[in-house]
Amino acid sequence: AQKITQTQPGMFVQEKEAVTLDCTYDTSDPSYGLFWYKQPSSGEMIFLIYQGSYDQQNATEGRYSLNFQKARKSANLVISASQLGDSAMYFCAMRERGDFGNEKLTFGTGTRLTIIP
Amino acid sequence: NAGVTQTPKFRVLKTGQSMTLLCAQDMNHEYMYWYRQDPGMGLRLIHYSVGEGTTAKGEVPDGYNVSRLKKQNFLLGLESAAPSQTSVYFCASSPRLAKNIQYFGAGTRLSVL
C-alpha cells in the first residue's frame, strides 16, 4: 500500500477561491507527523505546515490549514483566498519511525496547482 | 543568511565516474538529509544524519555513500555513477528541537550519460 497518496495530479482554481488538496496516508506507528511542502517552478522546496499525530487541533499557518482527520487517515491542505503566487507543486509527506528505530520520511507524488486569474 | 547551500547546481557525468555533492548549512542544525526527486514522483530519502559523525540509510540508499565529518556539512558520494542516478538531488536540514521543519537547498541537477 502507498504510504502517502495524493489523488489529484493537477488542479485549476480561480484566484481568490479556497483550495483543498487531498492527502491520505497509511502507517501503523502511533506517533507520526504530516507535512506539506510547496515547490514553485524555480524548484526549491518550501515548508508550509506540520501536524503531529497527537495534536488535538488542526494546524494553521496564515492562509494554510491542515484538515486532519485521524480516523480517515487524511491530512488535506486547505489554502484560503488563493493567489497567483500559489501556483506550484504541493507535496504531502509523513515522518514515522522505521523498523530499526530510524526515521522514515515519505513524500507523495504531488499535486500541481494552477491559479487562474 | 545562506541557509542550505548545495554545490554544484548542475553536473553531467559519464557512466562509471564518481563525484561528491556537497551540502552546507549555516543554521547549526543537527539533522541533515539527502533526497532525490524523479519525474512524477515525490522526494525519496537517500541517507540522513542526526548529528556529526553519524549517518543512517533512508529509503533508497544503494549506490550512494555519505559522510558527516563536520556538523555543517553533509556529503553525498556516487562511487560509480549509473544512468538510473540521473535525478535532482535535494539536501535539507532541521534543528533537533524542531526536526519536523526541514529547510531545503536549491537542488543539484545530475545527469548520468
- Over chain B, what is the mean pLDDT? 92
Length of chain A: 117
State mean pLDDT over A106-112: 93
Are the Cβ atoms of B59 and A44 closer than 8 angstroms? no
User: Cβ contacts (< 8 Å) between A91 and chain B: which residues?
Assistant: 42-43
Amino acid at B96: R
Are the Cβ atoms of A95 and B100 closer than 8 angstroms? yes
- Hey, is B70 helix, strand or coil? coil
Tell me the pLDDT band of B97, cut-offs 50, 70 and 90.
confident
Instruction: State residue A35's pLDDT score.
Output: 92
Among A25, A47, A96, A97, pick the best mutation site for testing chain B contact (most B Cβ within 10 A): A47
Our CA-based measurement puts residue B12 at a distance from the nearest CA of chain A, in whole angstroms, of 19
Return d(Cα B45, Cα B90) in angstroms, integer: 9
Instruction: State residue A90's pLDDT score.
Output: 97
Return d(Cα B80, Cα B73) in angstroms, integer: 22
- Tens-place pLDDT, residues A18-75: 999 999 999 988 889 999 999 999 888 999 999 999 998 999 999 999 999 999 999 9
Instruction: State residue A58's pLDDT score.
Output: 93
Phi, psi of A100 (to 5 degrees): -115, 30
From the list B43, B56, B101, which residue is nearest A50 (CB)?
A: B101
**Could you tell me which residues are beta bridge partners of residue B54?**
B51
Which of B109, B103, B78 lies closest to B26 in space, CA to CA? B103
State mean pLDDT over B82-95: 95
* pLDDT-wise least confident of B9-13, B15-19, B36-40, B77-81: B36-40
Among A61, A103, A104, A112, pick the best mutation site for testing chain B contact (most B Cβ within 10 A): A103
Tell me the pLDDT band of A98, cut-offs 50, 70 and 90.
low
Amino acid at B34: W
Our CA-based measurement puts residue B64 at a distance from the nearest CA of chain A, in whole angstroms, of 18
